[in-house]
Chain A
Amino acid sequence: MALLAYGLASNEPDRGVEQALVAGGREPAPDVELPRLAGGGAASLADYRGKVVVLNFWASWCGPCKVESPLLQRWHERLAKQGGLVLGVDVQDISDDARAFVDEFNLTYPMLRDGPGDLRDDFGIVGLPESFVIDRRGRIAAVVRGVVDDEFMRERVAPLLRERV
Chain B
Amino acid sequence: MKAGLAAALLLTALALPGAALAADCPQTTLGDIEDEVMCSICGTPLGLASEAPQAQRERAYIERLIADCRSKDEIKRALVAQFGESVLALPGDAGDDDGIEDTLVYVIPALGIVLAGAGIAFAATRWRRRPKAGTAGPAGDSSRVDLDMERYDL
Known: A62-B53, A93-B82, A94-B61. 16 other contacts (CB 8 A): A61-B53, A61-B57, A92-B83, A93-B57, A94-B57, A94-B58, A95-B82, A96-B61, A97-B61, A115-B82, A115-B83, A116-B84, A116-B85, A117-B40, A117-B41, A117-B84
Please give me the residue from chain B that is nearest to A118 by CB atom: B84
Let me know if B71 is at the binding interface, CB within 8 A.
Answer: no
Interface residues on A, range: 10 to 19
Let me know if B44 is at the binding interface, CB within 8 A.
Answer: no
Let me know if B28 is at the binding interface, CB within 8 A.
Answer: no
Please give me the residue from chain B that is nearest to A97 by CB atom: B57
Let me know if A25 is at the binding interface, CB within 8 A.
Answer: no
Residues of B within 8 A of A97 (CB): 57, 61
CA distance A63 to B56 in the complex (A): 13
In contact, B82 and A94 (Cβ under 8 angstroms): yes
B45-73, CB < 8 A from A: 53-54, 56-58, 61
In contact, B57 and A116 (Cβ under 8 angstroms): no
Let me know if A131 is at the binding interface, CB within 8 A.
Answer: no
Shortest CB-to-CB span from A115 to chain B, Å, is: 5
Interface residues on B, range: 10 to 19
Let me know if A143 is at the binding interface, CB within 8 A.
Answer: no
CA distance A62 to B40 in the complex (A): 14
Secondary structure dominating the interface of B: helix
CA distance A96 to B84 in the complex (A): 16
Provide 20 A-B residue pairs closer than 8 Å at the C-beta atoms, listed in order of the A residue. Answer: A59-B54, A60-B57, A61-B53, A61-B57, A63-B53, A92-B41, A92-B54, A92-B83, A93-B54, A94-B57, A94-B61, A94-B82, A115-B81, A115-B84, A116-B83, A116-B84, A117-B40, A117-B41, A117-B83, A118-B84
In contact, B56 and A61 (Cβ under 8 angstroms): yes
For the complex of A and B, 5 pairs with smallest distance between CB atoms: A116-B84, A61-B53, A61-B57, A94-B61, A92-B41
- Chain B residues engaging chain A, CB cutoff 8 angstroms: 40-41, 53-54, 56-58, 61, 81-86
Within the complex, which residue of B40, B56, B81 is in contact with A92, where a contact is CB–CB below 8 Å? B40
Shortest CB-to-CB span from B53 to chain A, Å, is: 4
CA distance A95 to B82 in the complex (A): 7
CA distance A63 to B54 in the complex (A): 11
CA distance A96 to B40 in the complex (A): 17
CA distance A94 to B53 in the complex (A): 12
Please give me the residue from chain A that is nearest to B52 by CB atom: A61
CA distance A116 to B38 in the complex (A): 11
Residues of B within 8 A of A62 (CB): 53
Residues of B within 8 A of A93 (CB): 54, 57, 82
Residues of B within 8 A of A96 (CB): 61
Residues of B within 8 A of A63 (CB): 53
Q: What are the interface flags for A79-110 relative to B under an 8 Å C-beta threshold, 1 for contact and 0 otherwise?
A: 00000000000001111110000000000000
A49-65, CB < 8 A from B: 59-63
CA distance A92 to B85 in the complex (A): 12
CA distance A116 to B53 in the complex (A): 17
